[in-house]
C-alpha cells in the first residue's frame, strides 16, 4: 500500500536539503517508496525515492502532516513546479503496479 500526500509546500532546510511538506490523505508514507514519474526541470521524467519521513505537528486539520526528504533530490524550484501547493503526490512501494495520478 502506498500513500497519497496533498502537497502544501517544498522548502530547503540546511542539513536536509529539499523537503516536501504535505498532508497524508490516504495510506502511509514510508522510507523507500517512490513517486509517480515527475518532470523536473528540463530532464526526462524520473521517480524520486523517499529517504526520510518526518512527522510534523500541524495547526490545520488536514490530516497527519509530513515532511518528505528524497534520495538524490531535485532543485527546490523544479520540485515546486512539478508539485505545486494543492497537488496530489502518489507514493508507491517499489515494484507496485502504477497507481492513478492526479
**Domains recognised in the chain with CATH numbers:** 3-92 (2.40.30.10)
Burial of 94 (0-12, 13-18, 19+ CB in 10 A): exposed
Answering whether pTM is above 0.75, one says: yes
Q: Is the backbone of residue 41 left (phi > 0), alpha (psi -120 to 50) or beta? A: left
Reported as a single tens digit per residue, the pLDDT across 42-72 is 878 999 999 999 988 765 656 689 999 999 8
49, 62, 55, 47: which is closest to 101 by C-alpha?
A: 47
Q: What is the pLDDT at residue 102? A: 43
Name the grid cell of 11: 522548502
Reported as a single tens digit per residue, the pLDDT across 22-37 is 999 999 999 999 999 9
The better pLDDT of the pair 83, 62 is held by 83
Give the alpha-carbon dihedral of 88, 93, 95, 98, to 10 degrees: -20
Q: What is the pLDDT at residue 16? A: 76
Amino acid at each position: 500500500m502506498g500513500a497519497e500526500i496533498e502537497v502544501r509546500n517544498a522548502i530547503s532546510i540546511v542539513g536536509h536539503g529539499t523537503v516536501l511538506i504535505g498532508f497524508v490523505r490516504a495510506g502511509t508514507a514510508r522510507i523507500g517508496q517512490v513517486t509517480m514519474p515527475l518532470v523536473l526541470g528540463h530532464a526526462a521524467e524520473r521517480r524520486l525515492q523517499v529517504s526520510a519521513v518526518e512527522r510534523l505537528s500541524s495547526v490545520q486539520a488536514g490530516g497527519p502532516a509530513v515532511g518528505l526528504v528524497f534520495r538524490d533530490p531535485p532543485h527546490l524550484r523544479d520540485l515546486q513546479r512539478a508539485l505545486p501547493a494543492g497537488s496530489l503526490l502518489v507514493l508507491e512501494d517499489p515494484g507496485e503496479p502504477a497507481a492513478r495520478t492526479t
